[in-house]
Amino acid sequence: MSKKKDLNYFTVTDSKGKETEYEILFTFESEDTNKKYIVYTNNEKDKDGMIKTYASIYEEKDDILKLSKIEDEKEWNVVEKLLNHATEEAKKEEN
């Protein structure tokens, strides 16, 4: 479970009590799966210097997010397509 801090951030507390803040990049609902998805980051970089991004299925109730793993390949393809589109749009805005 995750507690939303404001519209753009949420905090996850792991089983050891460590809190990590994540920035919400975007959310969307799929008509095909009737599920809500969230794409987020904690702005950590991988070994190649790229910012790590994550995606999950989410449910929200009383400012609490319940995140679930995306396990279906078709769902991952939808998320990946939207993330690639968002990345391309961001690049266009920079130029």
pLDDT single digits (tens) 22-37: 999 989 998 888 899 9
Give 57-77 pLDDT, tens digit per residue.
999 888 788 999 999 998 998
- 38 Cβ contact partners less than 8 Å away, ≥ 6 residues apart: 24, 26, 27, 55, 56, 57, 58, 65, 67
Q: What is the pTM of this model?
A: 0.80
> How far apart are alpha carbons 14 and 20 in whole angstroms?
8
